[in-house]
Amino acid sequence: MRRNRHPPAPGDSPGHSHAVGLASAGGRHLGPLRTAFVLTLAYMVAEVAGGLATGSLALLSDAAHMGTDVLGLGMALAAVHLASKPSSSQRTWGTYRLEVLAALANGVVLFAVAGWILVDAWHRVSDPPDVAVGAVLAVAAAGLVVNLLCFRLLRAGSSESINVRAAYLEVLADTVGSVGVMVAAVVVGVTGWTYADPLIAAAIGLFILPRTWRLCAQAVRIIMEIAPPHVDVAAVEQRLIGLPGVAAVHALHIWTLTSGIEAASCHVVVADGADAHAVLDSVGNLLRDGYGVAHSTIQCETADHRDAVL
């Protein structure tokens, strides 16, 4: 006996459905993503203009980083819209993974931007440019306001979606970057020490790298279908074996489709005399209620059944 289980859609019988029809975590926070995208895009244009006019590398580096925010938010929005399309006979899981691919692409871009900032900062240390302190301070202060607004918009979804989390962390880094630009402007204005601008730009670049690494690692983990970090597969197997009527469990796999949607499959050996339907329900309920598995495929079999599976 084999059955797919996931939360019921309207019109389905309780506990059972045959369409994927699951809402990703990113889709639940589409409104804040849109607003943050518009705010970030508008300010990025202003910051690029300000950096070019003032000659501030710190301001341009912060604008470049904000540009990656725009790119990342744009990819996230596109991925969420595409992921909402229904599954087909060939795309049986729909297009949920586009959100993960968008996050990974965003991470790659962030690595490139951080490298550019560090290289340019190194060159400018040997020949620091003159900086228009007042203009830099004004543009950076405006950026700080935009970052704080976006920070508030994305905070709720940052714990659920890898795309929202990427944007949230980027906004956090941008907030630090805006503060850094303001500090650089004050230092240059008060002391005349022009090295502050490229050095703080380099610090912003270094700040990007570790969180970008973590973002990419999380995206790769999902693409590789590695079990979610919070799930101990061996412990899940032991809990399943402990259920009434379960003699053994094998071929247990748990993975993440996209943020907020976990899936699992397993073969369950039903004990002699046990009700296979009751076993099927108890296994599905444990995976759903105990581990947040939104979709499970469970095959019940007898002890004398030999099914070669991986």
Q: Do the domain assignments include residue 270?
A: yes
Confidence at residue 27, expressed as pLDDT on a 0 to 100 scale: 60
- The answer to whether residues 104 and 173 belong to one domain is yes
Sign of the CA dihedral 256, 261, 266, 271?
A: positive
Confidence at residue 12, expressed as pLDDT on a 0 to 100 scale: 38
Positions of the chain with pLDDT lower than 50, given as ranges: 6-21, 308-310
- Among 59, 36, 48, smallest CA distance to 163 is for 36
CATH number of the domain where residue 116 is located: 1.20.1510.10
pTM: 0.68
- Going edge to edge, which strands form the sheet with 261-270? 2-5, 293-301, 261-270, 246-258
- The answer to whether residues 280 and 181 belong to one domain is no
Residue 15, phi then psi, degrees to nearest 5: 85, -5
- The answer to whether residues 246 and 214 belong to one domain is no
- The answer to whether residues 201 and 261 belong to one domain is no
Confidence at residue 288, expressed as pLDDT on a 0 to 100 scale: 92
CATH number of the domain where residue 256 is located: 3.30.70.1350
- The answer to whether residues 143 and 95 belong to one domain is yes
Confidence at residue 9, expressed as pLDDT on a 0 to 100 scale: 39
Confidence at residue 109, expressed as pLDDT on a 0 to 100 scale: 78
Domain end residue (candidates: 223, 256, 285): 223
- Among 133, 120, 126, 113, smallest CA distance to 195 is for 126
Name the domain count of the chain.
2
pLDDT in tens, 231-281: 999 999 999 999 999 999 999 999 998 777 889 999 999 998 899 999 999
The rounded distance, in Å, linking the Cα atoms of 110 and 213 is 9
Q: Which domain holds residue 243?
A: 228-301
